[in-house]
Amino acid sequence: MPIINVSVKPRAKQNKVEKLSDVSYKIWVTAPAEKGKANQAVIALLAKELKLKKSQISIIAGFKNKEKIIKTKVS
């Protein structure tokens, strides 16, 4: 599962990950969408959900958008 589509809701009441399909997730983060804080929170939550290291996940599109495309480096 190297490419994942993610819909992000920043400034949520709690951090939460919902799997919509094998390649689609909806993620709520408490971090605000400023200075990359929400992006960092998304990477941390997704890493925990997928049981990967944060360094194995990178955002390839949607840095300043709620809809993101994320690439995972699975060995």
Residue partners of 49: CB distance under 8 A and separation at least 6: 17, 19, 25
User: Average pLDDT in the 14-35 region?
Assistant: 95
d(CA 3, CA 59): 10
**CATH node for 3-72:** 3.30.1200.10
Kindly state the greatest CA–CA separation across the chain: 34
pLDDT at 31 over 90: yes
Percent of the chain with pLDDT over 90: 92
Q: To the nearest 10°, report the CA torsion of 71, 40, 28, 74.
A: 30
Contact 55, 47 (CB under 8 A): no
pLDDT at 1 over 70: no
Each domain of the chain, given as residue ranges in start order, spans 3-72
d(CA 9, CA 46): 14
